[in-house]
Amino acid sequence: MGRVPLGVVVAPPRIEPTGQQRTGNRHAARSAEVVRWPAIDRTGVVDAVVTTRHGGVSHGEYSSLNLGLHVGDDPRHVVTNRRLAAAAVGLELEDLVFCRQSHGAAVAVVGTHDRGRGTLSDGDAIGSTDALVTTEPGVGLVVMVADCAPIVMVDPTARVLACVHAGWRGTVAGVTSAAIACMVDHGADVSRLVVGIGPAVAAHRYQVGDDVKDAVTAAFGARSASLVPPDGTGRWTFDVAAANRMALTDAGVEPGNIHDTGFNDTAPQEAARHRRDSTPTAAATPTATGPTSSVTAPPGRVAGSPSSPGWWVDHRGLQPRHRHQLPVLRRGHRRRRRHRGVSLRTRRPHV
């Protein structure tokens, strides 16, 4: 099967949509099935979800909650799916902000004036950005991911939010620490940060080459041995989630404040991951994840005023595929990728 982009959304407090059901960390918001971080929910200031492949209107290889406009799906279906995902955090499509990810460490601060960017077309999305930060409520931050990890960060006191797209390139480039530095510039305190790492490709399924191994070694030094172990084929496997957890603690985040969803890429047919859905190769049977999103915004932490966003991010659909990321061919066709997303929004403070 193809890949369906998923997303992360952050938003102000909301009334639970009619028919929403909660089962552990997974929720069915209207028809869109999403995954949450209980620890993020407990902050009481932000709504953050990761979409799964279920609950949308796309057909065939894009079935069904595809959020990527750039993968060949019917744009009308994608827009409808994005509306469903936005509804999971009580937002309208027009409240979301999308960005064009570049697999780097660029951070953009967004606010209410950016709402709607990238929702109907990639052309007006925030350009060349892999982390979004915001302090304004009612703004949905979105990042989409495939193999990459979506990361959500919030300072519940300062009400500063960030959503990060962290693939191997962004991870070694320091996108996580760059996002934290931006949050601190807008009033956050690293010691208060609560962080959620979303579903990403499983380490044992993420086969990489010497280029990635060398980049990870340069970034993490001797500790890289646990992040990129040899797989016995002359190549390596990379634990993108563990690398980002390490980067977060290096930046000063308390280890106990870093959480995952309890939902990984090996869960059958839940997340749309390219490497898992591809035909196994002789060397490995890697899996891929759908897109997620993250957003950040400028300062605006006045009590009683809107101050939080939603986040979504696009993984690598807009970037050239690298050698270790080439899709496997099946039945003579290149595999299409579907994207998932992560949505975040801050809740309005009570006044």
Look-up of token digits 């967004």: 110
Q: Cα separation of 48 and 32, whole Å? A: 14
pLDDT digits (tens, 9 = 90+) for 53-95: 889 999 999 999 999 998 999 999 999 999 999 998 889 999 9
pLDDT band of residue 28 (cuts 50, 70, 90) is very low
Q: How many CB atoms lie within 10 A of CB 19?
A: 9
* Least confident interval from 5-19, 100-114, 224-238: 5-19
Residue 31's pLDDT band (cuts 50, 70, 90): low
DSSP letter at 111 equals: -
Whether cis (ω within 30° of 0) applies to the bond prior to 128 is no
Band of the pLDDT at 128, cuts 50, 70, 90?
very high
| Candidate from 29-38, 157-166, 253-262 with smallest mean pLDDT | 29-38
Burial-class residue 267 by CB neighbours within 10 Å (0-12, 13-18, 19+): middle
pLDDT reading at 135 higher than 80: yes
What residues pair up with 7 in beta bridges, in sequence order? 144, 341
Distance CA 113, CA 39 (A): 29
pLDDT value at residue 148: 92
Q: Residue 48 in contact with residue 195, Cβ under 8 Å?
A: no
Question: Given pLDDT bands bounded at 50, 70 and 90, which one contains residue 147?
Answer: confident
Give the least confident one: 114-128, 287-301, 336-350: 287-301
pLDDT digits (tens, 9 = 90+) for 184-201: 999 999 999 999 999 999
Identify the pLDDT of residue 155: 97
pLDDT, position 261: 87
Q: 146 versus 163: which is more confidently predicted?
A: 163
Name, in order, each residue with C-beta under 8 angstroms of 154's C-beta and a sequence gap of 6 or more: 10, 40, 43, 45, 46, 48, 160, 161, 162, 193, 194, 344, 346
Give, in words, the CATH class of 6-201+260-346. alpha beta
